[in-house]
Amino acid sequence: MPGVVVFKRRWSVGSDDFVVPGIFLLVLHTIWLIVLAVLLLVLDFGEVACISDLQGHMLGYIVILSGCVVVEGFISWVSMRGSILDTAPRASMQYLLYVRLGILLVEVSWLVVGVIWVSNHYDSCPMGLAKDAVLGIIVCNWCVLLSVLVTVWCTFDRAGRTWVKMKRYQRSLKDGKLRYKRSGSSHRNWRHRKAVREYQDSWNKRCRLLFCCMGTNDRNRNSFTEIAKLLSDFFRDLDVVPSDVVAGLVLLRKFQRQERLVIAHQTGNDTYQFLSGVAVTPSTRFLDVNHPNVCDAVMAITHYMHYALGVYGWPMFMMSHGGTGCCKLFPSLRCCCLPSRKKKRDRALVVEDNCCYCNYAALKNMVNNHNMEVVYVTYHVDVGETPFFVAVDHEKRTVVVSVRGTLSLQDVLTDLNAEGEPLPTNPPHEDWLGHKGMVQAAEYIRRKLVDEGILSQAFNYSLDKGTTQYDLVLVGHSLGAGAAAILAILLKQDFPNLLCYAYAPPGGLLSLPAVEYSKAFITSVVLGKDVVPRIGLHQMEALRTDLINAIKRSEDPKWKIILGGVFCCCPDEVNFDRMEDLTSASRDVTSHPSDSTIALTAHQPLYPPGRIIHIVRNHPKDQKYETRWRRMMGKNEPVFQALWADNKDFDQVLISPVMIQDHMPDKLLYALEKLLVNTGPTKPTRKAAKPQPGVTQRDQGSRDALLTDTPPSRGSPPHGVVLETSFTDFLPPSEMERQQWDQSSTDLAYQMKALRLVPASREASEKNDDSFETSSASELPIKSDTVRP
């Protein structure tokens, strides 16, 4: 950062990116130089013509390799100098590259001469060891030349020449009023517009190359154009190279880790500790999984997670079952050339599965423990058209629609089409925006369900079992979670009792008004440091700003930063006096790192849908949470706990090795199952500091209630079994809570049918000095199978 300028063109590689390739070539050429020098000194070359030519060729290679070693040594040394933004110590890099390119041309010429000699004299020449060495260095040089060509192709910037001209022109302007803002100012000149067009065309061609196997229909071309515009606007006027992003991520992870350590050890705040990057404070609300209603709700969430997992088909089945997957899947397969093994009772309509129905067989195997029947399943996929299936769950008395997440290139294009678009509701709401690609997917599924009568068929599937009285439940994971959430909003008017479970939904999904509306019937589940709920456009712009600030505040060279991140050999030294600028909530996501007159893009924030259950990991020191075998092996398995999260809590990308792993559906299912098996430790305690000036004894007592295990006015709670559930105390219900639970049977039946219970009184909880809120059943949608109107 910035990209190196060679031949009056900007390249997508920095002057500090030549450390590794320079050292690699230096070592390689040094080895060959030593080998050839030893052979010349040891071997006795005669007067035979072919042998003298061989000796001359080896001498020529020694001269060329000597020049390579010297220049590559200087390139590596210069590339190590300075920091990422301090390019002055590396100003001579372009001239070293010119010299190395000249040597490369001589090397190629000598390589051609060597190929000619090998083809004419290799079999007849008696110098076996020497000719083998020449053949080896020829092959090695061809490989190096091929790698150089690939590197040049990867780092070539199509708009690099226009970029250099534009920057040169901007630097030549002395009047600050004529500098060019990217926020739509009239001062933008034709050079700037030309650079923008060329970068947009460059991104468009990259998309076409990456998705070349998808074809070039009108929908794909439009998607490529929109994504190219989005990416070019996101990186506009930022002179960064890919390695800068890697170094910035390493720095940002160090900043985040050190920041959490400092906050956790400070006594002047209410943060006890961090679990999966989440600050545990007195206002943190954990789910009391020992409460019967909460336990039922978590079991229902786990139950429907199998549907979200099953729609992925055979790839997810094989990944979950490993080597035994084929054996388990084979008995359920069909073949177009063999008699159908379809069961007589299986009336499912399967659309666009493969010839052996592998996806449908995997679906049946992954949900075989449920009393369910598949009504319709389609594996048709296109941009904005996502596979899904419809099933009738007799155990929960629901009709389930499960939408698949990202599994194909078409799904990736749907994900990348992330601009905000108004939801097609009736009546329309202008401030209800959604992820454009997922809005298209939800509209596609709604047309299939309603216009083609698939939902009507599902509700009339088994009249003897009362399917007409079943409720509708929508589920999905990742892309499927986003599409299911938007689909739930579109179908809510027609199905008042509708529920939606969104597993690992994307962060940039809904605008805030739509999120508030969705909290009544959508429950989202996020695991740990999952990156997907944190990578909406607005979050990515915040990440861009954090990366830029981290790079600006780093004084270490890039090679040291990346090496420390890969091998963990460098200490995490961070200047916390400047941490506020990096993590401040008021940071300007439109600020440019080097030119204040340039405004970067800023999109309207979009958030995950509904109420969010965040499953976090806790690593208690007490080994009573471990099995006996794990204690003997000395392994510490984390304990999963669940808490309520706000939709705005996912505005920061947490850099972690598990940020991708936590998004996998099988990992999320494992965490949900473990949530009810191993309960977590008691809440952490912190001794209150000395009373601050001006703080009364009563105020200090209230603070002690926030920082101690048990409220000062109470002893141990009578429900001892719940103490190990979470960092909460489960106190007996107050009088107001008892009145709320003492409702008429009609109201209770209605609430249970709506899959929600009456919320407990927060005021009563505060009167009981219970500073840690235990999640009541009101926070969770619970499906009742026994009470129905």
Catalytic residues: 478, 530
Cβ neighbours, 10 Å, residue 485? 33
Measured CA to CA, the distance from residue 10 to residue 156 in angstroms comes to 8
Measured CA to CA, the distance from residue 341 to residue 357 in angstroms comes to 11
Measured CA to CA, the distance from residue 405 to residue 665 in angstroms comes to 9
Question: Tokens 């809120």 label which residue?
Answer: 773
Instruction: Give which of 596, 595, 612, 618 is closest to 684, Cα–Cα.
Output: 618
The residues near 457 (Cβ < 8 Å, ≥ 6 apart) are 375, 376
Measured CA to CA, the distance from residue 298 to residue 501 in angstroms comes to 11
Give me 331's structure tokens. Answer: 């008995």
Give me 251's structure tokens. Answer: 């720095």
Q: How far, in whole angstroms, is CA 725 from its chain's centroid?
A: 30
**Distance set, CA 4 to CA 13, 32, 159, 286 (Å):** 6, 30, 14, 51
DSSP letter (8 states) at residue 88? G
Are the C-beta atoms of residues 286 and 684 closer than 8 Å to each other? no
Are the C-beta atoms of residues 775 and 765 closer than 8 Å to each other? no
CA 401-404-405 angle, 5° bins: 140
Question: Tokens 């372009």 label which residue?
Answer: 94
Give me 290's structure tokens. Answer: 């020992």
523 forms beta bridges with 501, 611
Measured CA to CA, the distance from residue 478 to residue 423 in angstroms comes to 19
Burial tier of 463 (Cβ tally within 10 Å: 0-12, 13-18, 19+): exposed
CA 589-594-598 angle, 5° bins: 60
Q: Does residue 522 sit in helix, strand or coil? A: strand
Measured CA to CA, the distance from residue 106 to residue 112 in angstroms comes to 10
Give me 481's structure tokens. Answer: 């979670």
* 3-state helix/strand/coil string of 238-296: CCCCHHHHHHHHHHHHHHHHHHHHHHHHCCCCCCCEEECCEEECCCCCEECCCCHHHHH
502 forms beta bridges with 476, 524
Measured CA to CA, the distance from residue 183 to residue 451 in angstroms comes to 44
Q: Does residue 645 sit in helix, strand or coil? A: strand
Q: How far, in whole angstroms, is CA 386 from its chain's centroid?
A: 20
CB burial readout 272-298, b (16+ within 10 A) else e: bbbbbbbbbebebbbbbbbbebbbbbb
Report which secondary-structure segment, H or E, holds 644.
strand 639-645
Question: Phi and psi (nearest 5°) for 648?
Answer: -85, 0
Q: What length is written for the chain?
A: 789
